[in-house]
Amino acid sequence: MRFAVLAGVMALVPCSALGQALPLDVSPDPSRILSGDSLRVKLPFSPAVKAVFLGWEADRMQLQVDGMTQVWPVSVYDLSRLEVRTERTRREGLRHYAVIGAATGLFVGAAIGLGLHAAGVTDHASAPPEQIVTTTLQWSGFGIIGGFLTGGYLGGRSPGTGWVSLALPTR
């Protein structure tokens, strides 16, 4: 049993099978904001606003917002949330796609469980009709685990781009 678990883990995580450490690319600059980047800024008690970052002026960001002719200066200390559309790190991609994979796996697993029950594959001759719930939940669990692992693996290999929330400084 232990050997089977060890072999399964090594098959799912090829880097550990070869004894290699996973390289994590963490940005050395925590702000990660460059001129021309798309931002979503949220001030307290207001909706989020999409803008284009133009540059810094002390602790204020100079933003260009659609529909405004002038540049909008916003202090980073006044923001309640700041997101930038940029390349995700491997860790961010892994987290993002693992959650999406788990959510997808939930529904795929439930559909497989219902399909197997409807086809009569999982029924026993003396099983109660309520077994459909048990079968569906069981396959949903398998789907969540499979989707989480698959999504995390694929998201870690090619993280893609997306909205990344940045930490805001405090006074």
Domains of the chain: 38-86 (2.30.30), 89-165 (no CATH)
Q: What is the pLDDT of residue 57?
A: 85
139 phi, psi to nearest 5 deg: -70, -30
Q: What is the pLDDT of residue 31?
A: 59
Q: What is the pLDDT of residue 23?
A: 41
Higher pLDDT, 17 or 74: 74
- Report pLDDT digits (tens) over 18-70: 444 444 333 334 457 888 889 999 999 989 999 999 988 888 889 999 888 89
Distance CA 98, CA 147 (A): 7
How many other CB atoms are found less than 10 A from the CB of residue 117?
20
How many other CB atoms are found less than 10 A from the CB of residue 155?
23
Mean residue pLDDT of the chain comes to 79
Distance CA 102, CA 158 (A): 18
Percent of the chain scored above 70 by pLDDT?
78
Distance CA 115, CA 153 (A): 27
pTM of the model: 0.61
